[in-house]
Amino acid sequence: MDKVPLVYHERYDLNFGRHVFPTEKYRLIRDRLIAEGLATDEDFHQPKAAKDGEIRLVHTEDWVRKLRNGTLTYQEILQLEVPYSRQMVEAFWLAAGGSIYAARLAFFHGIAYNVGGGFHHAFAGHGEGFCAINDVAVAIRVLQREGLIRKALVLDVDVHHGNGTADIFANDDSVFTLSIHQLHNYPAVKPLSNLDIHLEDGVSDVEYLDKLRAAYVPALQLFRPDLVFYVAGADPYLEDQLGGINLSKQGLLARDRLALERPLLMGIPVAVVLAGGYAPRVEDTVEIHVNTWKMAVTVLNDCGWRRAPR
């Protein structure tokens, strides 16, 4: 059976301390995969931190310097909503390096899974909503610069709109952004993605999956990206503290299958990143993220992998 590569670094933990965002989830995902006999230490690929020059392909010189030097203003820290530390900055640089690595691995394996990343609220010149660096945008720009891809599609299924990603790629015909999210939730201002699916409160499995399928499948067929980045947030879960969408764990699995199977059948590789998840029991968030990897393995073995000719 083919395995989906895992990218992980022990310093992915953003060191927020007591915070609604359980950054220990990255370690717990790794531990659970090993405990269940699904992976060994050797199955985890350790990324290097992204280089400052790679970060600057997306982010402004001023924002990179402030993060590096610890000179954020009080307002910028409030907007970021997390305490500043050198360890936090290192973790964001590593997450970006991990998403670059996962994207490269996806071309060889069909799907690759970064046990981290998905920081979609980071804009070019500032951070928001627990996100300082937009790792997905950085990875896309790096792969475009290297000539590995021309076009990418970002499928963002986090319960919160991918505002930073939408803003970064606004008016860029080489990247198609698709965000399915709860309308009446953070962020208050939602820059236009190429395709936004605004969900009312309390949407459950059937309606969610119908709306995602109706938008995602035509977008793939018409845009024909060289790579899909799947921002696989766990927070549409019905018990999530920061969400108001009522997806069951089975509904989330069906979402994952749809997101992964469609591009793979078209010969398009998929890089998975995790984004948010705020269930009262961190074990539920960990289970949802682990289930995404399990579904990736199932899809990869059901569909096989053969990259479409460019």
pLDDT of residue 286: 97
Give residue-wise pLDDT tens across range 166-193.
999 999 999 999 999 999 999 999 999 9
Rounded distance between C-alpha atoms, residue 95 and residue 48, angstroms: 9
2 pLDDT above the threshold of 90: no
Exposed, middle or buried by CB within 10 Å (0-12, 13-18, 19+), for 288?
Answer: buried
CB 175 within 8 Å of CB 154? yes
Strand partners, 227: 152
Rounded distance between C-alpha atoms, residue 95 and residue 131, angstroms: 11
Q: In what order do the strands lie in the sheet with 270-273?
A: 44-45, 6-7, 111-114, 270-273, 227-231, 152-156, 175-182, 195-199
CB 237 within 8 Å of CB 288? yes
Q: Which residues contact 89 (CB under 8 A, 6 or more apart)?
A: 67, 68, 132
Q: DSSP labels for 110-126? A: SEEEESS---TT--SS-
Q: Per-residue confidence at 14, pLDDT binned at 50, 70, 90?
A: confident
In the chain, the domains with their CATH numbers are: 6-303 (3.40.800.20)
310 pLDDT above the threshold of 70: no
